[in-house]
A and B are shown apart, each in its own frame.
Chain A
Amino acid sequence: MKTIWLLALLGIAQEDTLARRAAAIRPTAAEGRWREVPWVASLREGRELAQREDLPVFVWAVDDDPLERC
């Protein structure tokens, strides 16, 4: 019985440690703020929106998929 309790306590301690380590790495709300930007992934769609709303276009171009990666 004592062994079972010790194993259970060990499991809880492992969970706590893992959760604490994960929390230290997980992005904060501020670090995920870029997701609030209403990105579109095609210039065609961007042009349509810009013409409809009379706005300039901001293009972020990388050698990768910016939205997939992030």
Chain B
Amino acid sequence: MLTDAAVVDLLRRRFVPVALNWKSGAGVSEDERRLRSEWGLGRGAPTGTFVLRKDGTLVARGGGSRPESMAAFLRDTLATLGTPPERGAASRALATDRGLGVRSDGSIRLALTVRAMKDGASANHRPMMDSVVFMPAQLKSLAPPAGAARYELPAEVAREFVRLLTDDGDKVYAMRPQDATEARLEASVEGDVVRLSGAIAGSRPYSGGGTGVIVSSGRLDGRLSFDAAGELQSLLVVSDAQYRQPWAKAPHAVGGLLEWRRH
């Protein structure tokens, strides 16, 4: 819904768009906490989309998940507000370290995309985009041991790749490393390139209610390149998996992509 051209255009030109994380209290200042509470967006407030006047009074809540209904919702609220002025704000660079470069603590942030697939092509226009962070020690463990032609990734690192197994946006569906039931990734060295292949699978109880279980399993292939000092320069991993949602009778095909480059 937030990828729809009309919705994006309205948000850019007519509103100040604010994205808030309800769950995490980390990094939220006391001032911010107080303001959220004053505006009715404090602890216990529902998730969703809201339009408020600049003084914090609520104009409307909702918009639905369909692009047309969100665009209509935004236009309706503008009409209620008497059509405020247009703005010329430029977009801000978001998460500039996603998929690129090494962070100040030595970790890297891999760009993750998972989407429903059909016959080798995307089945819809709703990719799930996320990030996977590898800490310096995990990064180091990707490199081939000296002189090795073949090696296996350590289990604790291989388990990180189960994040490629589900395409639902909410984190209650995300396969976490501790949910891995299989994670065997073998690497073969070809000069400064390492080819990765293996099997990954995971299972976790659905925490959103009921007794459902989230199950997914698949194959993974990848290519890692290193410089002469053994430092990772790029990573490209793709997966094919079968993912069964907790309410679904049958699994559906998902394709996962994890990518990063140093420069």
Point out residues on A near B: beta carbons under 8 Å: 11, 14-15, 17-19, 21-22, 24-28, 30-47, 49-51, 53-70
Contacts and interface: CB of A to CB of B under 8 A. Distances in A.
29 contacts: A22-B238, A24-B117, A25-B114, A25-B117, A25-B256, A32-B3, A33-B8, A34-B3, A35-B91, A37-B91, A38-B17, A38-B92, A39-B17, A43-B20, A49-B16, A55-B15, A55-B54, A56-B59, A57-B18, A57-B52, A58-B11, A58-B16, A59-B41, A60-B49, A62-B20, A62-B21, A64-B21, A65-B24, A70-B94
Identify the interface centre among A17, A25, A41: most chain B CB within 10 Å of its CB.
Answer: A25
Contacts of B89: 38
Contact of B19 (A15, A28, A54, A67): A67
B238 to A, nearest CB: 4
Interface string B86-129: 01011110110000000000000000011101001110010101
A51 B20 contact: no
Interface residues of B, number: 78
Interface string B188-231: 00100101000000000000000000000000011100000000
Contacts of A44: 29, 31-32, 35
B56 interface: yes
Contacts of B121: 24
Contact of B23 (A26, A37, A64, A67): A64
Nearest to A30: B3
